Structure 1
Amino acid sequence: MRLSSSKFHLPAPLVTALEQTGYTTSADLLFSGSAEDIFCQLPPNTIGFNEFEECLARVLEASGAQGSHASSLLHSQATPMPKRCLDTGVDDLDELLMGLGGGSTVIEISGDIGSGKSMLATHIALRHLASDPDAQLLWIDTTGNFLVDQVAALLARHSGQGVATALARLHLSLAFDLDSAYQALHGLRHPSCVVIDSITPLLGPALSAVSAQGHALMVGFMRHLRAIAQSSNASVLVINNSTSNGNNQLNPNAVFPTTRKPALGPSFPFLTDATLWLTRRDSTMTGCISHTAEIWRSKTTRGKNVSRGELKEDISTSLRKWIEVPLTCGQVTKIFSDHAVLYLPKYKRHGDATEAFHPYVYAAMMNNPPADGEDTFISALRDELHACNSTSPRMYVRLPQAPVEAIHQEVRGLMEAEYAQTSITADEVQEQIEFLGQYAILSHRWERETTKS
């Protein structure tokens, strides 16, 4: 915290002298040397040494954690503050966060480059401003990449009572160091939401494996954000960059394989209420772009291996329906390909057969999902296979001998096996996300095995 803060009650001449010698925050004053060393750097006749020691003691006392009576804490919890209207716009993600966006929380949003961290935070901020005409939002830009024109265009997609004045209530501050960030936080009283994009350049340069000062600065800053969140009933979103997990090792927290992890070290996630990890995946199978949002650590949500029944309530609507019969397009297409290679001379390789049959299987599964009923799905497959058999010779050789009934019988057997299956692999879930081409919300860890036991 800056020494000029009224919290410390320091004499103005002393604050000016300390700032001129490079001591601008309480951390500088407390961790940069002994009282004698700092006092000797001050201009003559600034302050007496005994008075300087008293000022130093005040800074130390004000910077320490304040004690609280249990009765006071009980009273504050029994009198909840009005809930802020802050949500992501994705119902499943709001349900996954379990109300953490309702105020008095600090949420970390992390992910690799291009995963949508800033875009998600922007939409959350604009939804908040548009829905609440009294909301005040502070956006601290640490990279200089905030584009007002782009934000104004995105605001047109939102509706609410506060749309007309939303941009006037969005307070933008540039902060390229920790001191500037503190100053920006002190400049707006009682914000309803604070976004820091990103926090990595502010804290990362100070972290070191041989010194604890950087860690102390990080903890102090996050404590300050926590105090703002609690005193103002605000939601604080901190965007954190990613870094390599080391030696290309897979991150054990991730649902889908990744060698990345949030920056700022392993202790940073414990300074927030939840860590939201975003991933972008480009599907070569469907040409769609899918985004996954995973809760890696949270004070309220679970993180464990779960059965299909336990998983059912924690993912998006389309995947929730698919879990009833977790049959993938790849599994059905493989049955078609196996029969084609055996009985149809046109297809000498599985790759050729897969390429030919995939569009028909895809159409059947999209129009009549297996969860809608076995007979309906089999009937849709039969229609698509007959359509494939009657395809123009310009595209493929006619397939009048395609073993329709044999294929359908094997598909029925596979569906019966899927009904009885209790666990789902990560590969199957990933294929279905690409198949649906939608924003999928995932909170649990699927089994790593690519084959089922």
Structure 2
Amino acid sequence: MRLDSDLLTPDPLSVSLVEALARLAIHTSADLLLSDASNTLRSSQTPLQSRALNIYKRLPAGTISLRDLELCLLSVLKKIATPGIAASDLQSRPRTYLSSFPALNRLIDHDNSRGFPSQNVYEISGDHEAGKSTLILNIVLRYLLSQPSDILWIDTTGDFAVDRSLEILQNLMEEPQYSYPPTIDLDSDMDPFAPSPPSLESIKEDALTRLHVSVAFDIQTTYEILDSLGLSTNSSATFVPIQCLVIDALTPLLSPHLSAVSAQGHSLVTTFMHQLKILAVKFDLVVFVINNATLLPPTQNQVNSDPNTVALTSSFSHSRSIFPFVNKKPALGPSFPYMTDATLWIAEWQDVSEAGGDIPGDGTTLHMIEIFRSRMSASNTWCRFKIRGSIVE
């Protein structure tokens, strides 16, 4: 991790100290903690104290005291270290599952069809208007109706619409398992003082109250939002009411920092995704990051072939999809999928005649979701689903 990253500067490393270290060719946490380790470690010194002394001798006089430098190195070590968890604690911790439609539940959780397990970060990628946000919004609202937990939705584009949420909630509450108000058996014994069942409006209001929507247009604001809710790697808390985190979309936050001539942006992206994974494990979260798409480059034989025949081929290099019509890939670079636990690709289905049923003429569209890569389920598996307005069917 670079020393001038937001996680290390200005706390615990001051800007002046980072600049002084840079003049000594110490730019990263590895340079600070590991490089040029002393081979003459005294019996009374720890490796950290020995490293601090070596750096202190090279710094200009008056830059920082030796004791403060030792504390800075210790703070950096705590910041970048992954916290340990006992295996017995992992076994006893219950896991949260966010359920979707049955076919997708089986793809993600093949054995029990429970849906998306917690403690994982899921990348939801696809082209513009492929249905990414709509699918995730249906999933989180379904969870809010069935569980008394909270969900944090970080909107990076300012496109979140409450009207869509109300439409989805209304549709979900018409399903049998969410029948409100509950059916009353007049023949059964009833407590005359029992509270009346909640109204439809109060149920919708309660669900929307537990859906926390925040707007963030940069990485620093995102960190501040997470810290304000106790979602911090430095937090001593082991429980927060938030059970799911959605970032819609991640691409506008990270893509401005990526460059083909500098590794600093890649370091920032890696650090941010690493922090999300730590939060997911520490607080038992389900994390969804929505990513955009970018065009695939043509294969070599496409480039060299006759221009009149290029349109007949549907082969694209570096494609993770099993479908020939998929000519795009997730944005943010080829290494980004390896920073998440699963990459799901969503696209509109090209051949509606193969849907296995008629598509009504009410604006319903047919979509497919394919697992490009996953650590907990089989890759290159897929299923279809329909979107009617804002409703996933």
TM-score, length-normalised on structure 1? 0.55
Give per-residue Cα distances to partners, 1:368-425, cap 9 Å, x unaligned. Answer: xxxxxxxxxxxxxxxxxxxxxxxxxxxxxxxxxxxxxxxxxxxxxxxxxxxxxxxxxx
| Residues 176-195 of structure 1, C-alpha deviations (whole Å, 9 max, x = no match) | 11111111111223220000
3-state SS, counterpart of residue 277 of structure 1: strand
2:102 aligns with one of 84, 91, 96: 91
Match of 1:156, SS state, is: helix
Residue ranges of structure 2 left out of the alignment (5+ in a row): 20-26, 33-54, 181-202, 231-239, 300-315, 388-393
Structure 1 residue aligned with 2:303: none
Can you give the 5+ residue segments of structure 1 that lack an aligned partner in the other structure?
22-28, 305-313, 317-432, 440-453
Which structure has greater helix proportion? 1
Question: Which residue of the partner structure matches residue 343 of structure 2?
Answer: 275
Change (3 A) 1:250 1:53: same
The alignment status of 1:126 with 2:177, answered yes or no, reads no
Q: Structure with the greater relative contact order (CA < 8 A, sep ≥ 6): 1 or 2?
A: 2
Provide the alpha-carbon RMSD of the alignment. 3.6
AA aligned to 1:252 is: S
The Cα of 1:148 is off from its aligned counterpart by: 2.1
Q: Deviation of residue 287 (structure 1)?
A: 6.5
Q: Distance in 2 between matches of 1:282 and 1:3?
A: 44
The answer to which of 57-66 and 209-218 deviates more is 57-66
CA distance in 2, matches of 1:177, 1:204: 11
Can you list the C-alpha shifts for 1:72-102, whole angstroms capped at 9, x where unaligned? 54223322x22324112x1010110115612
Tell me how far apart the structure 2 counterparts of residues 195 and 67 of structure 1 sit (CA, whole Å). 23
1:255 CA drift (Å): 2.2
Mapping 1:215-364, distance limit 5 Å: 215-247=266-298, 249=316, 251-257=318-324, 258-281=326-349, 283=351, 289-303=365-379
- Alignment of 1:154 with 2:139, yes or no, is no
Amino acid at match of 1:145: D
Change in CA separation of 1:242 and 1:9 when aligned onto 2, cut-off 3 Å: closer
Counterpart contact for 1:108–1:272, Cα < 8 Å: yes
Task: State the identity as a percent.
Answer: 35
Equivalent position of 1:420 in the other structure? none
Aligned match for 2:258, one of 199, 207, 218 = 207
- Equivalences for residues 68-79 of structure 1 within 5 A: 68=84, 73-79=86-92
Q: 1:64 aligns with which of 80, 83, 87?
A: 80
**Are the counterparts in 2 of residues 30 and 60 from structure 1 also a CA contact under 8 Å?**
no
Change (3 A) 1:127 1:181: same
Q: Equivalent residue for 2:225?
A: 184
How much has 1:172 moved relative to structure 2?
Answer: 1.3
Residues 279 and 291 of structure 1 are in contact (CA less than 8 Å); yes or no, is this contact kept in structure 2?
yes
**1:142 is aligned to 2:156:** yes
With over 3 angstroms needed to count, the CA separation of the structure-2 counterparts of 1:188 and 1:212, relative to structure 1, is: same
CA contact (8 A) 2:125 2:132 kept: yes
User: What's the TM-score once normalised by structure 2's chain length?
Assistant: 0.63
Match of 1:171 among 212, 224, 247: 212
For the residues of structure 2 that align with 1:130 and 1:66, how far apart are their CA atoms?
34
Pick the structure with greater CA Rg: 1
Q: In the aligned structure 2, how far is the partner of 1:284 from the partner of 1:231?
A: 43
Cα distance in 2 for residues equivalent to 1:4 and 1:212: 17
Instruction: Measure, in 1, the Cα distance between the counterparts of 2:164 and 2:83.
Output: 45
Q: Name the CA distance, whole Å, in 2 between partners of 1:270 and 1:153.
A: 35
Is the alpha carbon distance of 1:187 and 1:180 closer, same or farther for their aligned partners in structure 2, counting shifts above 3 Å?
Answer: same
The structure carrying a bigger strand percent of its residues is 2
Corresponding residue for 2:233? none
Partner deviation per Cα, 1:215-273 (whole Å, 9 max, x = no partner):
21111111111111111111000000001112372553212222100011111111111
Q: Is the 8 A contact 2:99 2:115 kept in 1?
A: no
Letter in 2 for 1:256: F
Cα pair 2:12 2:76 within 8 Å, conserved: no
Moved more, 153-162 or 171-180: 153-162
Write the distance in 2 (CA, Å) between the matches of 1:212 and 1:126.
38
* TM-superposed deviation, 1:2: 5.3
